[in-house]
């Protein structure tokens, strides 16, 4: 299951995921906001293949809001094919940022489920971000200091919480094993789409874990080995040939390094984003240089991986935060609470972030006007 922003530039990532894992179930939303709910996730899970050996279903959940940083280092700017000038990524998060800074956090905190009929997805995104900021103890003054980077980080935490909450409501760990990979998708493109600077894509993975037989294990990506030849072929192929090995005639740029310095950098390619003849020539040239360096240094990835001894570096750890420390859980409990229960919950939350409860409870508590809207 892949949850990305609706933006067409995110499809480069989805294309690679599909190439390796097969066709994915999409839960995309503006800014990556999850609006499919329990029914949507349940539908996706019901389509999963069943392992012939164990009889279990296995899922991999990917979730990434995105941000662009052009080759000049300007955050939010991105060039698009066939469109002069620059535009913004993520545009939805940037719009939400502007409105939260102008109107304040409190004014954008609505009751869960309330949205504008003509703009449902964006208003849900903005409310989720505002309520997350409130949940983290950030008020109107703190909102004025937000920028696109910080609001993207808030979005990643919000959407990850929402995903994990939906997983808790839909996945039976006794019948299925699953993995979760969340973080931020980063675009670094040239000032001009077909300019001299390469258009690159990579990920900042913030939360990676697997749940097998009900036991959660966090994966430390820094302990992963360099790629095997098969993995290099998978990642460097720009088109799938049907055998999952990619097309060897169109190689992308792949940096084959494990450990703390490891990364995967690739230049965007068809079918989702076109490139000029010169760009295609550069891709082929870099692919040849990459192969020559392998031969020159006598690097043999299969020998350097030391597989499977690297698995000893993956250790089961305590859950990084308490299971109840989830903003989506808090919001759903608050929505069904009585006024007295809601007031008590808000008091506990403010004590958590101030230590003494000195600041007034944020006015997410439902008043008469809100209850009338619910009745309507």
Which residues make Cβ contacts (< 8 Å) with residue 189, sequence separation at least 6? Answer: 68, 70, 71, 78, 79, 197, 199, 200, 268
- Angstrom CA distances, 348 to 330, 344, 361, 365, stand at 11, 6, 10, 14
The model's pTM: 0.72
Here the contacts of 360-363 (C-beta below 8 Å, separation 24 or greater) are 362/105, 362/106, 362/109, 362/134, 362/139, 363/106, 363/109
Reported as a pLDDT band with limits 50, 70 and 90, residue 273 is low
Query: Mutual orientation of helices 148-170 and 37-45 as an angle, nearest 10°?
Result: 70
Which residues make Cβ contacts (< 8 Å) with residue 356, sequence separation at least 6? Answer: none
Which residues make Cβ contacts (< 8 Å) with residue 309, sequence separation at least 6? Answer: none
Dihedral of the CA atoms 266, 270, 275, 279 (nearest 10)? 40
- DSSP code, position 196: S
How do residues 74-132 score in pLDDT, each as one tens digit? 999 998 887 888 889 999 999 999 999 999 998 898 887 778 889 999 999 999 999 99
Q: How many other C-beta atoms lie within 10 A of the C-beta of residue 179? A: 16
Q: Yes or no: say if 43 and 52 are a contact pair by the CB < 8 Å rule.
A: no
Reported as a pLDDT band with limits 50, 70 and 90, residue 275 is low
How do residues 167-222 score in pLDDT, each as one tens digit? 999 999 999 999 999 999 999 888 887 777 778 888 888 899 999 999 999 988 77
Quote the pLDDT of residue 304. 47
Quote the pLDDT of residue 152. 96
Q: How many other C-beta atoms lie within 10 A of the C-beta of residue 288? A: 11
Greatest extent of the chain over all pairs of C-alpha atoms, in Å: 74
């Amino acid at each position: 299951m892949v949850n990305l922003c609706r933006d067409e530039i995110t499809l480069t990532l989805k294309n690679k995921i599909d190439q390796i894992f097969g066709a994915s179930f999409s839960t995309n939303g503006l800014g990556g906001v999850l609006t499919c709910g329990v029914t949507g996730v349940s539908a996706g899970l019901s389509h999963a293949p069943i392992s012939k050996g164990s009889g279990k279903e296995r899922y991999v959940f990917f979730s990434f809001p995105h941000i662009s940083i052009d080759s000049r280092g300007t955050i939010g700017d991105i060039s698009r094919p066939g469109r002069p000038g620059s535009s913004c990524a993520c545009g939805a998060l940037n719009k939400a940022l502007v409105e939260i800074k102008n109107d304040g956090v409190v004014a954008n905190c609505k009751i869960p489920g309330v949205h504008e009929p003509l703009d449902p997805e964006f208003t849900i995104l903005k409310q989720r971000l505002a309520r997350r900021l409130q949940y983290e103890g950030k008020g109107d003054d703190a909102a004025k200091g937000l920028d696109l980077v910080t609001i993207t980080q808030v979005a990643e935490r919000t959407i990850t919480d929402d995903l994990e909450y939906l997983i808790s409501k839909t996945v039976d760990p006794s019948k299925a094993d699953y993995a979760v990979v969340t973080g931020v998708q980063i675009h670094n493109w040239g000032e001009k789409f077909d300019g001299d600077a390469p258009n690159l894509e990579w990920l900042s993975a913030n939360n990676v874990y697997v749940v097998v037989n009900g036991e959660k294990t966090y994966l430390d990506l820094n302990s992963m080995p360099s790629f095997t030849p098969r993995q290099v072929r998978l990642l460097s192929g720009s088109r799938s040939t049907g055998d999952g090995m990619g097309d060897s005639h169109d190689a992308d740029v792949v940096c084959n390094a494990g450990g703390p310095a490891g990364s995967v950098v690739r230049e965007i390619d068809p079918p989702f984003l076109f490139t000029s003849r010169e760009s295609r020539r550069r891709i082929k040239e870099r692919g040849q240089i990459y192969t020559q360096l392998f031969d020159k240094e006598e690097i043999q990835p299969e020998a350097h991986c030391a597989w499977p001894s690297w698995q000893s570096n993956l250790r089961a750890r305590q859950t990084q935060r308490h299971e109840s420390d989830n903003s989506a859980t808090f919001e759903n409990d608050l929505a069904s609470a009585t006024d007295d229960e809601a007031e008590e919950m808000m008091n506990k939350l403010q004590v958590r972030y101030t230590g003494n409860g000195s600041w007034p409870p944020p006015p997410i508590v439902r008043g008469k006007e809100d209850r009338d809207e619910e009745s309507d």
